[in-house]
Structure 1
Amino acid sequence: METIALATMLLPFIGALLIALSPQRYAKVLCTAFALLATLGMGWLALSYLGSGKTDVTIPLYSFGHTQIFGFVIDRVSTLIGFAVVSLGFLISLYSCGYLTALNREHPHDGSNRYYALLLIFIGAMAGLTLSSTILGQLLFFEITGGCSWGLIGYYQSPKSLRSALKALIVTHIASVGLYLAAAWLFAKTGTFELTAIAQLSDADKLVVFGGILFAAWGKSAQLPLHMWLPDAMEAPTPVSAYLHAASMVKVGVYIFARAIMSSDTVPHQIGVVGVVMATITMVYGFLMYLPQKDMKRLLAYSTIAQLSYIFLALSMSTFNSEMAFDAGVAYIFNHAYAKSLFFLVAGALSYACGTRMLPKLRGMLKSMPLLGIGFCVAAMAIAGVPPFNGFFSKFPLFAAGFSLTGEHWWLMPLLIVALIESVASFAWLLMWFGRTVPGEPSPELASAQPLPLSMKLVLLVLIVMSLVSSVIAANWLN
């Protein structure tokens, strides 16, 4: 397992180095090939874990004296989320091969070595972060993802995209102060950076460590009060938006919070209370902000803020000794990654084919471009939590766990009712846009749309299927 995990993490970095040294015409091929190898490696690692009877393994890799600096943890959560972020990295690489060309009507541009190299580094960093067994390892890859996001958000080098990239870098680095504090406090109190040492801390020390991790998580996952970078980050190429802002970067925050909860026998209830309250406030804010949006990507950005709040809600409720809430949160990370990536890539396909992603200009999608009409429908239903799509199988256990906790924690009831109202209202709003954009006679923009490249079509088909079956994978893997 050690060799497989190390190869999975290092292969994207090696690929990025080769891309930097190669002619531009080879960049997309190298990126896709190394992303595929990393995906196969993560799949092999998951199968090895399954073959061992799902026995959790911690592999120390580097120590300084008696202090473990970096290592791997192989368990049901790291393998599930690791596979999601790496496999989606491969799908985004493949999609980019068709999207980043001179035929793109919104952004006619051939992808550069810089784009593909940064994308591979991001994939490698996400593999390292999900497998890391130490808070120092998490911090290292946390910072690498921040640097890559800066380069990818500002990829088009326009003044607006460069400002957006700088804002994302500054806000997420401010958030990283929380993780630095958590790492320093954990080491000062236990003499180690291993995440499992959190269980040894007193409740007062846990408050400091969890407080720092939660602050870092809010920044990376675009939660109030550190949310402001995400909507502006939509200046990035759409495949970047799909990967960073649906599948990987925004999932770093919720993942490090989930990993900390797993590593501690008990979590101070104050952390759970703060997490639940802030998640509910952010959820309502995200919903209200995406109501007036006409740009499909900005709507999806605010929708992502609201959807990540559900994950924080589930994980925060799990601190009140609810295993169902924890599993719902982890399953939500997995399922949302595929569904929201599909939604973003439908937006990218529309901008590629039609030259616009403004919703009022898009009508008759199903008649003109059936694949995009179906993709829009599936993604909307999955995000809204409509059965049999994957979002339902994340939201249902979340609410079931929450309402079961209200007997002991009565104050959860009004917050869960607010979340339930938001979920229904979100479904209604997405249904309204579905009615305006998918059926009917094609608008001039869609009537004159150009065909999509095969690579983009294949990725959309895979994500449509995953939006149906990922919940089955998550449920079986976590149980």
Structure 2
Amino acid sequence: MITLALAIVLLPFLGAAAIGLAPHRAGKWLCQIFAAATLALMLDLVARFVAADHAGASASLIALGHAEIFGLAVDSVSVLIALAVVAIGLLVVVYSAAYLNAGNREHPDTGRKRYYAFLLLFIGAMSGLVFSSTITGQLAFFEITGACSWALIGYYESPKALRSAAKALIITHIASLGLYVAAALLFVDTGTFALSAIAQLTPAHKAAVLLTILVAAWGKSAQLPMHMWLPDAMEAPTPVSAYLHAASMVKVGVYIFARGLMAADGVPHIVGWVGATMAIITLIYGFIMYLPQVDMKRLLAYSTITQLSYIFLGLSLSVFGSDLAFKGAIAHIFNHAFAKTLFFLVAGTLSYTAGTRMLPSLRGVLTKMPILGVSFVVAALAITGVPPFSGFFSKFAIFGGGFAVSQQNLLLLPMVVIALAESVGCFAWFLKWMGYTVPGKPSDAVAAASPLPAGMTFVLSVLVVMAVCSSFIAASWLG
């Protein structure tokens, strides 16, 4: 299993090198081939992990003396999240091949091969971060994802896109200082960079390491006070927005925080209080900010900030003893990745076919393009947590765990209630736009829309299915 995990990390890097050496026209085909091969390896790993009765494996690959520098860990959490990273990566690659062409009414483009090379690099870097068993390994892939995001956000090379790319790179790099400090603190106390060594620390030192990891997590997952890069990053091509800002880059933060909690074997409550408090503050801010948005991608950007706050809240509540909240948070990483990818790609398809993603200009989508109308409805219901769609089940676990631990600590109760109120408000707001955009007579922009390419239709259909099925996959996987 370790060999397979290493191959999953390295194969996309090899594919990116192949694209760099290949002719321009071969870029999108090589990208799809290598992304599909990576998913095949991932499915093989899943099968082997199930056959081994979910028995994990780990290995140190680079060490100096007793100091482990880089290693891989295969367990139920890393396999589940890696599956989402790789599977959505392939779907985004297939969608990109249809999106990046002269028929795009918003951004006609030939699909330069550097786009596909950096997209593969991102898949590899995310896989590496997910499987890393050391802070230094996480840090290396953390920085690679930052470099890839800079290249992809600035892909169109407009002044605004280049400024947005630089902002994302600078802010997330500043956040990475938290991981540098965490690595240094861990090494000074234990002589190694292995995450498992966090359990050996005293409570005070354990809190220091986890809080510095949390700082890095806030930067990547766009939480206050380092949230400002995410809305501006919507200058990227929409498939990039879907992958980086729904399924991969923004999930780096919540994932490294989750891995730190898993390794700690008992977490000081101060970590839970800081994490939960900042999650609620960011949740309120994100909700207020997405209310006035009419650009669909900016609305989804602020919605992503709030959904990540739910995950941070669930992880923080687990510090007080709720295993249900922890599993709900991990499941929400998985569920939200598929649902928000679908929503972003709906926005991209509207831009491609109708030439706009401004919600007031869009009406009657279901009448003109049924698959797109259905996708809009499913994505909205999944994000807002309406059963039987995926977001309901992971949010329910977070709220259930929150109310359970609130019985022992009443100060947590207002936080859980605020989060529940935001969830209701989120449903009401998305219901408003869903009722405006989907039914009725097509507006001029929608009536003049071009047909959907087959690649887009396929990807949207798969994601609609996953918006229902992902919760059952995560629940059965995590037990």
Same fold (TM over 0.5): yes
Q: Partner of 2:93 in structure 1?
A: 93
The letter of the residue matching 1:351 is: S
Q: Partner of 2:263 in structure 1?
A: 263
Q: Secondary structure at the match of 1:63?
A: strand
The letter of the residue matching 1:319 is: V
The letter of the residue matching 2:176 is: S
Deviation string 1:440-476 (CA, Å, 9 cap, x unpaired) is 0000111010011111110000000000000000001
Q: Partner of 2:310 in structure 1?
A: 310
Q: Partner of 2:447 in structure 1?
A: 447
- Tell me the CA shift for residue 95 of structure 1: 0.2
Q: Secondary structure at the match of 1:411?
A: helix
Alpha-carbon distance in 1 for matches of 2:235, 2:153: 6
Q: Partner of 2:62 in structure 1?
A: 62
Q: Partner of 1:329 in structure 2?
A: 329
Alpha-carbon distance in 2 for matches of 1:25, 1:53: 44
Q: Partner of 1:117 in structure 2?
A: 117
Q: Partner of 2:241 in structure 1?
A: 241
Q: Secondary structure at the match of 2:386?
A: coil
- Tell me the CA shift for residue 66 of structure 1: 2.1
Q: Is the 8 A contact 2:196 2:264 kept in 1?
A: yes
Q: Partner of 1:170 in structure 2?
A: 170
Q: Partner of 2:203 in structure 1?
A: 203
Q: Secondary structure at the match of 1:226?
A: coil
Q: Is the 8 A contact 2:2 2:73 kept in 1?
A: no
1:16 equivalent to 2:16? Answer: yes
Alpha-carbon distance in 2 for matches of 1:450, 1:114: 27
Identity of aligned residues (%): 63
Deviation string 1:95-128 (CA, Å, 9 cap, x unpaired) is 0000000100000001111100000000000111
Alpha-carbon distance in 1 for matches of 2:104, 2:409: 53
Deviation string 1:253-310 (CA, Å, 9 cap, x unpaired) is 0000000111011111001001111100100100100000000000000000001000
Alpha-carbon distance in 2 for matches of 1:272, 1:6: 33
The letter of the residue matching 2:59 is: I
Q: Secondary structure at the match of 2:133?
A: coil
Q: Partner of 2:397 in structure 1?
A: 397
Deviation string 1:133-164 (CA, Å, 9 cap, x unpaired) is 11110000000000000000000000000000
> After superposition, where does 1:138-287 map in structure 2 within 5 Å?
138-287=138-287
Larger mean CA deviation between 67-76 and 299-308 belongs to 67-76
Alpha-carbon distance in 1 for matches of 2:131, 2:207: 24
Alpha-carbon distance in 1 for matches of 2:349, 2:425: 27
Alpha-carbon distance in 1 for matches of 2:136, 2:48: 26
Alpha-carbon distance in 1 for matches of 2:329, 2:397: 9
Alpha-carbon distance in 2 for matches of 1:443, 1:95: 25
Alpha-carbon distance in 2 for matches of 1:178, 1:259: 15
Alpha-carbon distance in 1 for matches of 2:198, 2:259: 11
Alpha-carbon distance in 2 for matches of 1:111, 1:263: 42
Alpha-carbon distance in 2 for matches of 1:398, 1:7: 34
Deviation string 1:354-390 (CA, Å, 9 cap, x unpaired) is 0000000000000001111000000000000000000
Q: Partner of 2:466 in structure 1?
A: 466
Alpha-carbon distance in 1 for matches of 2:39, 2:471: 19
> After superposition, where does 1:376-455 map in structure 2 within 5 Å?
376-455=376-455
The letter of the residue matching 2:400 is: A
- Tell me the CA shift for residue 2 of structure 1: 2.2
The letter of the residue matching 1:84 is: A
Aligned residues: 479
Question: What's the TM-score, normalizing by structure 1?
Answer: 0.99
Q: Secondary structure at the match of 2:390?
A: coil
The letter of the residue matching 2:378 is: V
Alpha-carbon distance in 1 for matches of 2:227, 2:267: 25
The letter of the residue matching 2:2 is: E
The letter of the residue matching 2:236 is: A
RMSD of aligned residue pairs (Cα, Å): 0.6
Alpha-carbon distance in 2 for matches of 1:424, 1:222: 22
- Tell me the CA shift for residue 69 of structure 1: 1.2
- Ranges in structure 2 where 5+ consecutive residues have no aligned partner: none
- Tell me the CA shift for residue 13 of structure 1: 0.3
Q: Partner of 2:81 in structure 1?
A: 81
Q: Partner of 1:366 in structure 2?
A: 366
Alpha-carbon distance in 2 for matches of 1:41, 1:262: 26
- Ranges in structure 1 where 5+ consecutive residues have no aligned partner: none
The letter of the residue matching 2:103 is: L
Q: Partner of 1:133 in structure 2?
A: 133
Alpha-carbon distance in 2 for matches of 1:337, 1:24: 30
The letter of the residue matching 1:282 is: T
- Tell me the CA shift for residue 39 of structure 1: 1.1
Deviation string 1:363-421 (CA, Å, 9 cap, x unpaired) is 00000011110000000000000000000011111111100111111011111111111
The letter of the residue matching 1:245 is: H
After the TM superposition, which segments of 4 or more aligned residues of structure 1 sit over 3 Å from their partners? none
1:289 equivalent to 2:319? Answer: no
Question: What's the TM-score, normalizing by structure 2?
Answer: 0.99
Alpha-carbon distance in 2 for matches of 1:389, 1:334: 13
